[in-house]
Amino acid sequence: MRVAGGVSGGAVVGWDMGAALQLGAALGLSPLTIAELLPPIEAVMVRKTNEEIEQSNG
């Protein structure tokens, strides 16, 4: 994950796509498949993770 720090605890800004591509390749997925599927999954993950961070910081 890519994280931005801050006074209120920081926030997740995205995935390390190089690492994500390597993990996908290790699982036998083609780079085209990974490039097609990861961006929408990443967007949901970032939004939900940041919501949880906000809730835990109260």
How many structural domains compose the chain? 1
Q: For residue range 14-39, what is the model confidence (pLDDT) as tens digits? A: 888 899 899 999 999 999 999 899 99
Q: What is the pTM of this model?
A: 0.69
What is the span of the domain harbouring residue 39?
Answer: 2-57
CA angle 46, 48, 54 (to 5 degrees): 100
Over range 34-58, report the average pLDDT: 89
